[in-house]
Amino acid sequence: MKTLVAGWFSFEDMGASAGDLLVRDLACDWLKGAGRDYDVALAAPFEGGGVDWRTADPAAYEELLFVCGPFGNGPPLTELLERFRGVRLVGLNLTMLEPLERWNPAALLIERDSSRRTRPDLAFLSDAPKVPVVGLVLIDAQPEYGKRDLHAAADDAIGRVLSSREAAVVRIDTRLDVNSTGLRTPGEVESLIARMDVVVTTRLHGLVLALKNGVPAVAVDTVAGGAKVRRQAEALGWPVVLAADDLREPDLAAALDRCLQPDLRALARACAERAREQLADVSRELLRRP
């Protein structure tokens, strides 16, 4: 018995979602655990390791398992069903768009919702590992430093390192006169930074707001020879600061891995507490009368 697993990931530009892929992988795990042989019908950009249902031989399959999403009597589903007309159809975690009394081509239907019943989405049973959430806080050009400004090269190196691993990268713009990420207030900026697992930043306040909220930061000083970012890290006692004029991608990757360790989160909190202690007398000094 061989099953062809299909879904909206089997068609180009049909809006396959993370939930679709989670349920697909869950179904494949169940088939594998039962010793069942299967292929997965995939289309761009998911096609690696799968088959194209348009060229796959229907005679090779006893079962067509369509997983997750809306399911209705129209293209491109009707094209798929026509090609595999002699193959037993199983629907899993589907939203049936028409009443079952009118249209239900499945020999076995375990729906998400239909005219018959509603059940929780099967994504609740998936156990895909979580990935780090990385806040990316980058500085723009700094013409005040002239040729010492190396932000473009630093941005390129950071981009390559982040794209080489699985991580949820959240761009965070700390500038508020014009904000490229839709943030409007300091509270919005800081609240977003505070929810990251790690921050990669070329901005001084990216470093400061991360450590203030106990979030480890990979700080890169984009000024040749070092400037305010490096000096701030030194003042805070924060060790993960790299220089753009000697920035090697393996070092950047190692710094990111280091900041994902629990002891660095504890160190971030300690740096923030020490900073508050050192700044305790600033208001008194400001307000002291001559």
Residue 93 · residue 68 · CB < 8 Å: yes
Residues 146 and 59 in one domain: no
Over pLDDT 70: what percentage of the chain?
Answer: 100
Residues 162 and 188 in one domain: yes
Q: How far is CA 187 from CA 16, 183, 190, 193, in A?
A: 34, 9, 5, 10
List CB contacts of 203: < 8 A, sequence separation 6 or more.
Answer: 137, 138, 139, 174, 229
Domain count, the chain: 2
**Around Cβ 140, how many Cβ atoms within 10 Å?**
13
What pLDDT, in 10s, does the model give residues 253-268?
A: 999 999 999 999 999 9
Q: Is residue 239 part of a domain?
A: yes
Residues 138 and 272 in one domain: yes
Bridge partners, 10 (sequence order) = none
Where is the domain boundary, 69, 103, 125? Answer: 125
Residues 146 and 242 in one domain: yes
Residues 50 and 105 in one domain: yes
**Around Cβ 184, how many Cβ atoms within 10 Å?**
9
H or E segment and range at residue 226 = none
Domain housing 115: 2-125
What pLDDT, in 10s, does the model give residues 133-171?
A: 999 999 988 888 888 888 989 999 999 999 999 999 999
Q: How confident is the model at residue 42 (pLDDT cuts 50, 70, 90)?
A: very high
Residue 49 · residue 42 · CB < 8 Å: yes
Where is the domain boundary, 125, 160, 184? Answer: 125
